[in-house]
A and B are shown apart, each in its own frame.
Chain A
């Protein structure tokens, strides 16, 4: 029963495909999966947007949307209809073709990343041996779309936003890759299926997720920072820079094209959360061995929605950084730490089992973090201040 529930989507697909002639089955299966992905993740996007607006509202002591439907659950529908019916403006001097291609390209590229994510037991669309490489190759292409959008709008704000976005995404791609390499070093494979399988083991009922190791924790933290920057989310949302660049690279987009950018951003967030989940949080494996009966896809989606909540929480709290600080943070703090983390990972690998490696690895990482944080703050003369008073 539970096994069937776990495999329900796989079985459904087989059942649906079974009606077709044998030669079509493989292609139809893939097509079905693609359609499923294209339906599910925009649905999650709608839920996330609603969750974000409600969550931000509550953090700011407001209700958030609560007028459309009960508790406002139809708000995304209303938003969608609104953006579809809005006029699609293209600035007179814009490069119309590139202006049109940019959002389409973004959405296409972002969806391609899902091809390799294992969303449950036996629920990977394409079993690639170099899945991680594929993911990063695809992820790197989103920058181009951002650039196209910013450049083709012929707006100075857009161009500034696009330049910022591209510089930021290139900078943070390096730590993103580097922190993932640690996982590859331990697993010995670029295949995401194998990475999940390696984490789907239990000792005393507790999972072998990589986040529960010193290097994995550090790697996850770095990955999370880099992923936030990659998706242009607060506190790294300066390409959009609401308060200075108005909306950055998509200032000149309206109506459906704007919705596409919005969709691309959120689907990208979901996708990179999925990657982080797969790499560090055990993918679809359950957090406790006794919960193994719960369907694996439930855990995957629960984990990515949880990380979306963290995104929202951060957005509700943190102001944004400045461009140079962002770059300094990437190159002077995150990148050295990820490199150190690679070293620590190697140490972990070769120190063998035992408590010593826990101690040594944690000590190195904590020490490095504290020292680098202190020197960084000290270098920029940052810190809480005391104030004098005159009577």
Chain B
């Protein structure tokens, strides 16, 4: 087999993105600018849409309205001072951002994390995942025009989780909790009991949420078959997280990388077979259920002990020269931090691999040929946070 034949044989469909819709020249092309001041672009995000009637024939995403120079700022401040900035990346899930950054720095400096701190990280990370997924579903249905009812239900539960966050970390959203080699403060037994209470109430809530939405005919009509993302394209574009799993690809960094202590927990990875918005919505819902299972196990087994590596230093932290890439399965996908140290107190190079941005790159492929009303739906199903997209 020649090389070109091999290429043809192995080239998956959607490899070089054939134009799904050809402009046939007879329809009038309507160009509209959706955003940055638009109720359902989830922030200051703009899309240049080309419409033929109501059918999308072109979509150009424009980001950067929320660019805050995060990566460059990080090169000018100490490793510790970067931590609160990571809260502001994906401001819905600050704890997983903390975790990913802490993981990268721990790799760089060779710090160990005490067992109790690992458990706390898992608990906080999974709580974050639950609240993010429920919120994302709520926003998705809000984009469909349900007057925000599911969103309000999701936020009602999220509130309980955020209260626990505040009790432990001092802040509801900008937690700034994890440190290199552990966690900032220890959890009290009362806090753990509070989390147990919240987790005990979650399955009932997810059931309620599902009853409201899962078999709703309008929702099915809107989402099933909409915004199909083929697995080949998803892999090639570097899509990760629930989006990738909804496209049927079994890739979960918790299972792949065995970071933290995820090996100790039994949980499954839900996969979608139809690759559409409904699958993304359901995969998130099912993942939230799995997260609840992890939480139950973690809360049962959490050991005592310190939460900080005694070797870790707060002041004058200078990792040896080298580089490290730490990544975790954040609620939105693979969140990675790439750090280069020159031995000084600041990172020499600091780079974020934001899942939102990379998942957003396939927006046009999913939206071409769809109705303009579906664009907001597809964007909602990507689950972006502009703080992370633009950094």
Contact A321 B54, beta carbon cutoff 8 Å: no
B153 close to A61 (CB less than 8 A): yes
Residue B185 interfacial (CB < 8 Å): no
A377, CB-defined interface residue at 8 Å: yes
Chain A residues near B87: list those with CB within 8 A.
none
Q: Across the interface, which residues of A come within 8 angstroms of B220, CB to CB? A: 382-384
| Chain A interface residue count, Cβ-Cβ cutoff 8 angstroms | 41
Q: Are B373 and A156 in contact (CB under 8 A)?
A: no
Taking a contact as CB atoms under 8 Å apart, the answer to whether A243 and B271 are in contact is no
Q: CB of A66 within 8 A of chain B?
A: no
Instruction: Give the distance to chain B from A117, nearest Cβ to Cβ, in Å.
Output: 29
Interface mask (A329-342 → B, CB under 8 Å = 1, otherwise 0) = 00000000000000
CA–CA, A62 and B156, complex, Å: 10
Closest CB-CB distance, A319 to chain B, in whole Å?
4
**Are A316 and B268 in touch, CB under 8 angstroms?**
no
Asked whether B278 is an interface residue with its Cβ less than 8 Å from the other chain, the reply is yes
Most chain B CB inside 10 Å of its own CB: which residue of A164, A243, A391? A243
Contact A61 B372 (CB under 8 A): no
Q: Which residues in B have their C-beta under 8 angstroms from that of A164?
A: 54
**Would you call A387 and B146 a contact (CB within 8 A)?**
no
Q: Is B282 an interface residue (CB 8 A)?
A: yes
User: What A residues does B144 contact at CB under 8 A?
Assistant: 243, 319-320
**A315 is an interface residue with CB less than 8 A from chain B:** yes
- A323 / chain B contacts, CB cutoff of 8 Å: 54, 371, 373
Assess whether A238 is interfacial by the CB under 8 Å rule.
yes
B225 with A321: CB separation less than 8 A: no
Cβ-based interface call for B40 (8 A): yes
Q: Which of these, B32, B215, B376, contacts A243 with CB under 8 Å?
A: B376
CB of B68 closer than 8 Å to a CB of A: no
B271→A317 contact, CB < 8 A: no
Given contacts A156-B32, A323-B54, contact A387 B152 (CB under 8 A): no
A390 contacts B156, CB within 8 Å? no
Set B39, B54, B216: member contacting A319, Cβ < 8 A: B216
In the assembled complex, the CB of A311 is this many whole angstroms from the nearest CB of chain B, namely 12
Give A243 to B225 CA distance when docked, in angstroms.
20
B175 within 8 A of A: no
CB of B118 closer than 8 Å to a CB of A = no
B148 pairs with A241, CB closer than 8 A = no
> Is the Cβ of B222 less than 8 Å from the Cβ of A243?
no
Chain B interface residue count, CB cutoff 8 Å, equals 51
Residues on A with beta carbons closer than 8 Å to the beta carbon of B282? 385, 387
Pairwise interchain contact A381-B225, C-beta atoms closer than 8 A: yes
Does B360 sit within 8 A of A, measured CB to CB? Answer: no
Shortest distance between the CB of B52 and any CB in chain A (Å) = 12
* B9 CB–A CB distance under 8 Å: no
Q: Does chain A have a CB within 8 A of B77? A: no
Q: How far is the CA of A388 from the CA of B145 in the complex (A)?
A: 29
> Is B228 an interface position by the 8 A CB rule?
no
Among the interface residues A156, A243, A319, A381, which one has the most CB atoms of the partner chain B within 10 A? A319
Nearest Cβ in chain B — how far from A325, in angstroms? 5
Nearest opposing residue in chain B for A382, CB measure: B220
Contact A242/B39 with A160-B372, A320-B145, A380-B225 known, Cβ cut-off 8 Å: yes
Contacts of A59 in B (CB 8 A): 149
Residues of chain B in range 350-391 having any CB-CB distance to chain A below 8 Å: 371-376
Report the nearest B residue to A391, measured CB to CB.
Answer: B268
Q: A243-B40, A318-B146 are in contact. Are A160 and B268 (CB under 8 A)?
A: no
Chain B contacts of A387 at CB under 8 A?
270-273, 282-283, 286
Chain B's nearest CB lies how many Å from the CB of A369? Answer: 13
Q: Is residue B250 within 8 Å, beta carbon to beta carbon, of the partner chain?
A: yes
Q: Which residues of B contact A388 (CB under 8 A)?
A: 270-271, 273
The closest CB in chain A to the CB of B248 belongs to A388
Q: Is A389 in contact with B373, judged by CB distance below 8 angstroms?
A: no
A390-B250 in contact (CB<8A): yes
Quick check: is A237 within 8 A (CB to CB) of the other chain? yes
Question: Would you give the shortest CB distance from B294 to chain A, in whole angstroms?
Answer: 14
Residues from chain A with Cβ under 8 Å of B30 in the complex: 156, 160
